A and B are shown apart, each in its own frame.
Chain A
Amino acid sequence: MNMKKIPGIIAAVLLLALAGTPAAAQEAFDGTQWPPPVNESEDDQFPGAEDGVPPATDTDEVPPAPEEDVPPAPEEDEGSDSDMNTSSSGNWTDKITFSGYVSSDISFIVEDWRGPTPGDGYRFDTNRNDVNFKLKIDPNDNVGIVTDMRFRFYGLYDGINLVDLSKRGPIDPWDFQLNEAYVQVKGKPWSKMDFKIGRVMETWGTADMFNPTDNLNARDFSDPLDFFAKVPNSMVIVNIYPTDWLTITAAWLPIFKPAMLPRSAKNAFALPRNSAGQVTGFPAMPMDTEDMMNNIDPSLGDVALDAVMEGMEGKEELMGALMNDAMALYGGGKINRSQLINLLNKYAQINEPEVSAWTPGFDISNSQAALKFQFNVDPVTFSLSYFYGRFQFPVAYWGLVDITSPGKIPEPTGKVTDTEEFVQDKFNVDVLAETYYPRMHVVGADFSYSSDNKWVPGFFAEAALIIPEQVKFGFRTYLDGKLLLESSNVNVPTTPFIKATVGADWSYKDWIYINVQYVRGFYDEFNDMYGIHNYFVPNVDLMFFDNELLIRLTAALNCDDVSFMLFPTITWTVVPAVELSVGYMGFFGPTQPKAPEELDLSNISEAVTAIIPAYASKSRFGQLASGRNVVFFKAKVSW
């Protein structure tokens, strides 16, 4: 079976299931449709992920009990038009729910070692002012219309020029985001069925935030303080309730949308630099350097030397200086790393890597589909799910180093990249890379258990067996247009792997809430050469004065490299609906893999690794790509 056809097949099934839907929707708007009484909770319509502070219990993370979702329409009334129009006579104000919030936050970087270059810090990082509107219209019991939108005005702005000073946009930047906009039809075309069409944010899974079976919407990490945000996407979702203990959900997403990354993500491929701005190496790439060195053509050294000599034609003085410095560096088969870095910066202009992202086309074979069977066996709820689509975080695909010799400037021949500006009398080095979104099958299972006994915690677990597309990482080095080195190694093997979350939560009155989770596989981990890591994620909420004061302590520990993140917050509910929060987010761990100070040239692989660190040696929370350490203040009023 051609697996690429899966989305098309599921789409066809969904479309068939929805045959007659437009008529049903129109009938519903007309108020002529029989209204099955559906008890859909308000929270299901409005995923509460916008406040930037994890709520103690996220109702979106817990699937609604099937009984509540089953439209208990009498069987004898199914398909009957004679009893229609029972609710269309209500007041319109009863059919509209309007809510939203206004919030303003500001964050300040409290370190100067986690930026692009050491010394950057102790400044404001973000200042956002949000206005959010959520509108839900229920013309009758069969139809729900939901919109959720946000205007965000940014306090900080980028560099401007004199012309910009006469424009509002550059000085007062803003954006508009449509979180959700969909129509939900209930009890049509079958009484035990409803569906949503439009721009939806859907959450699957029973764990708290770390949901490996939740792949419909990509994560939105553009706001580093908001772990809950998702990228909205267009989809068709059909829910069927054949029995009181089973809910079947099918989803089709015609377009793949990738996850949004924090601004710090660019540091994953950035050149590491010291405080003087000198390049101190190259970004980690998923290369099997040992295998590459073992298979390297023995003649490469001679070929490279010839190419260097040719590239230095007309630059004899520079060549002499380079040779002298290089020979002075070499002593007893070892090279001092710091001196090598100095040499590198003296004779090479290394430009910041340009990283592109390969994205799939908009043909139907790149659409995504999912199916879920949710079982309710009180007091346990569990589900089985399947997803076909793409991993939403980028995986390293290839890297290319393109070097132009001083003798070939200003008219380089055979240049691979299209750089046109060169620094004279230096080797000009461009680094290009591309990332990829691999396809995957995900077979998932989850369960949750809650007890009526207040002393017994709730338990939940969620696991996904992921069958990935194999991704081989390609690497090339060019010198003056000549391909000197090419290698390829598996970055993501086809081997199926498991991402899982197991946790428990417990609360006592309104005083304390504890949630602890073991997580195997962080959001962006896909069993590439970085691997799948293990995490311990505890969260403690302490509530005082009738919930007027909330102290939350959240942390995440990488059990493999012992790096961690801390995220404490204090929230004061000044009056109902008005909250003031202050908090801190900090990342702890080495920013760069430790490199030896002496490079042993008899061990070429190790020497290369000292310049291009091994991919797996990156620190999860320590690496610069994780983000900055900030304190923040936030005010929010909701209605």
Chain B
Amino acid sequence: MKTRIEFAVVLLLVGALSLAGCGWDVDGVDRMNEMYPKSDDGQSQDVIEDDAEQDVEPPDATGDDTGDDVVGTDINVWPDVSYEGIEGHWAGRLVSRGKMAPIGDPVDMSTSDLFLAQGTEGNLTLTFCDEIIDVNPNELFSTSTVTKQALREAIAATPIELTATAGGIDAQKIVWRWALAASIGDDDEFPEEVTLENYPDIDEDTFEGVTMSVSVVAFGSPTSGERYMAKRVKFDLAAGQMSGDGRWITGAMTYVVDEKVLGASVAMLETGATITPQTEGTVYQFRRVDDQFDCAALVAGHKDLFRDAP
């Protein structure tokens, strides 16, 4: 009798332990995004796709779908603004190229951090819009990452300040931190202990750090979910000169990135991959825009916008 009871208890314990750590999660909003895609400006995706097919102006933040009054999204149209000095509005991106090797051969990747910038005498203030990560897949692995509105707003709340002159941007180093406690120095190792004290929930979704939607196809098996993470990027910007026509500011840069995966909604996404920076193609670029230009236009058209950058 005792043996039978003990056997039953052991079975129960084994069963309970094997279930620990389930990270299942489905979100009705994600499902609606699949069925009724939308952009940040609240338009249905159909409208945006129509515009994208025409390869002209994306919709503006007001929701108008004509786009006639959007300036700067057509690379042949430049805004009617002053092209003198650093002052004014800029759209910019920091392009960080690198390699990562989660499975199989290393794959090339680039991270484009998109900003709207406001130039004032001696300064260029960068307000974050979005981060676009492109990973060239190999035969075993592919991934895509999408930021959430709450993340974008949280990161945008702390602009990056660059020192500048009338003729361009000074050489300088900046440290960009995502969801790191102030107590963690710029050169400190990331604490192992995942707590809200170490990795504050700046996007306020109850999870430590910031949350990104990640899709991974590994060995042909797709997995989608959310990854909670923190990161620190040290950019070393070379001096950047303004183009002779006052439209562009470009320069080279190097970077070092530290990322820590704090958790994930599915176990598959709990493993991150180290990024090895590449020098070639790692640049920063700013393009002059007017005050009507917004993040939605930048995100929708960033590839075309910077195509002709010197």
Chain A interface residues toward B at CB < 8 A: 1-3, 245-246, 307, 358, 373, 375, 377, 382, 384, 386, 397-400, 413-414, 416, 434, 436, 438-439, 441, 443, 445, 465, 467-476, 478, 481-484, 486, 488, 491, 494
Q: A488 with B4: in contact, given A400-B36, A467-B22 (CB under 8 Å)?
A: no
Please tell me if B292 contacts chain A, counting CB pairs below 8 Å.
no
B42 touches A2 (CB 8 A): no
Q: Which of B1, B28, B268 contacts A475 (CB 8 A)?
A: B28
Q: A482 with B63: in contact, given A384-B11, A397-B28, A494-B25 (CB under 8 Å)?
A: yes
A2 touches B267 (CB 8 A): yes
A469 touches B25 (CB 8 A): yes
A375 touches B44 (CB 8 A): no
Please tell me if B16 contacts chain A, counting CB pairs below 8 Å.
yes
Please tell me if B185 contacts chain A, counting CB pairs below 8 Å.
no
Q: Which residues of A contact B77 (CB under 8 A)?
A: none
Q: Which residues of B contact A481 (CB under 8 A)?
A: 43-44, 47
Q: A398 with B24: in contact, given A414-B44, A414-B47 (CB under 8 Å)?
A: no
Chain B interface residues toward A at CB < 8 A: 1, 4, 7-8, 11-12, 15-16, 18-19, 22, 24-32, 36, 38, 42-44, 46-47, 63, 65, 267-268
Shortest Cβ gap from B64 to chain A (Å): 10
A438 touches B4 (CB 8 A): no
- Nearest chain A residue, comparing its CB with the CB of B12: A384
A471 touches B16 (CB 8 A): no
Shortest Cβ gap from A488 to chain B (Å): 4
A441 touches B19 (CB 8 A): yes
8 A-B pairs besides A358-B31, A472-B26, A483-B42 with CB distance below 8 A are A375-B8, A398-B32, A414-B44, A414-B65, A436-B26, A468-B24, A472-B27, A474-B32
Q: Which residues of B contact A375 (CB under 8 A)?
A: 4, 8
Shortest Cβ gap from B195 to chain A (Å): 19
Q: Which of A245, A434, A470, A473 contacts B4 (CB 8 A)?
A: A245
Q: Which residues of A contact B12 (CB under 8 A)?
A: 384, 443, 445
A605 to B63, CA, bound (A): 28
A472 to B16, CA, bound (A): 25
A443 touches B15 (CB 8 A): yes
Q: A434 with B36: in contact, given A2-B268, A384-B12 (CB under 8 Å)?
A: no
Q: A414 with B46: in contact, given A438-B24, A474-B30, A494-B24 (CB under 8 Å)?
A: yes
Q: A470 with B28: in contact, given A482-B42, A483-B38 (CB under 8 Å)?
A: no
A400 touches B32 (CB 8 A): yes
Q: Which of B27, B28, B46, B63 has the most CB atoms of chain A within a 10 A radius of its CB?
A: B28
Shortest Cβ gap from B50 to chain A (Å): 10
Q: Which residues of A contact B16 (CB under 8 A)?
A: 443, 465
A468 to B24, CA, bound (A): 8
A138 to B121, CA, bound (A): 94
A251 to B19, CA, bound (A): 19
B22 touches A441 (CB 8 A): yes
Q: Which residues of A contact B22 (CB under 8 A)?
A: 3, 441, 467, 469, 494
Q: Which residues of B contact A398 (CB under 8 A)?
A: 28-29, 31-32
Q: Which residues of A contact B43 (CB under 8 A)?
A: 414, 481-483
A469 touches B31 (CB 8 A): no
- Nearest chain A residue, comparing its CB with the CB of B27: A472
Closest 6 CB pairs of A and B: A474-B28, A398-B28, A469-B24, A474-B29, A483-B42, A472-B27
Q: Which residues of B contact A445 (CB under 8 A)?
A: 12
Selected A-B contacts with CB under 8 Å, 25 pairs:
A1-B18, A2-B268, A3-B24, A246-B7, A373-B8, A373-B11, A386-B15, A397-B31, A398-B32, A414-B44, A414-B65, A434-B31, A436-B28, A441-B22, A468-B24, A469-B24, A469-B25, A469-B26, A470-B26, A471-B28, A472-B25, A474-B29, A476-B32, A478-B44, A494-B24
Q: Which residues of A contact B18 (CB under 8 A)?
A: 1
A481 to B47, CA, bound (A): 9
Secondary structure at chain B's binding surface: helix, strand, loop or mixed? helix
Q: Which of B12, B18, B22, B30 has the most CB atoms of chain A within a 10 A radius of its CB?
A: B22
A143 to B289, CA, bound (A): 81
A71 to B15, CA, bound (A): 29
B31 touches A474 (CB 8 A): yes
Shortest Cβ gap from B263 to chain A (Å): 13
Q: Which residues of B contact A397 (CB under 8 A)?
A: 26, 28, 31
A2 to B222, CA, bound (A): 13
A443 touches B19 (CB 8 A): yes
Q: A467 with B19: in contact, given A416-B36, A474-B32 (CB under 8 Å)?
A: yes
Q: Which of A307, A399, A470, A476 contacts B25 (CB 8 A)?
A: A470
Q: Which residues of A contact B268 (CB under 8 A)?
A: 2
A598 to B31, CA, bound (A): 36
Q: A488 with B29: in contact, given A414-B43, A469-B24, A483-B42 (CB under 8 Å)?
A: yes
A220 to B57, CA, bound (A): 54
- Nearest chain A residue, comparing its CB with the CB of B46: A414
A438 to B31, CA, bound (A): 14
Shortest Cβ gap from B29 to chain A (Å): 4
Shortest Cβ gap from B211 to chain A (Å): 12
Shortest Cβ gap from B25 to chain A (Å): 4
- Nearest chain A residue, comparing its CB with the CB of B18: A1
A486 to B1, CA, bound (A): 58
Q: Which residues of B contact A468 (CB under 8 A)?
A: 24
Shortest Cβ gap from A56 to chain B (Å): 31
A474 to B4, CA, bound (A): 48
Shortest Cβ gap from B1 to chain A (Å): 6
A382 to B24, CA, bound (A): 31
Q: Which of B19, B27, B42, B46 contacts A474 (CB 8 A)?
A: B27
- Nearest chain B residue, comparing its CB with the CB of A470: B25
Q: Which residues of B contact A488 (CB under 8 A)?
A: 27-29
A491 to B38, CA, bound (A): 23
A443 to B43, CA, bound (A): 45
Q: A472 with B28: in contact, given A1-B18, A2-B268 (CB under 8 Å)?
A: yes
A472 touches B29 (CB 8 A): yes
A483 to B33, CA, bound (A): 12
A399 to B27, CA, bound (A): 12
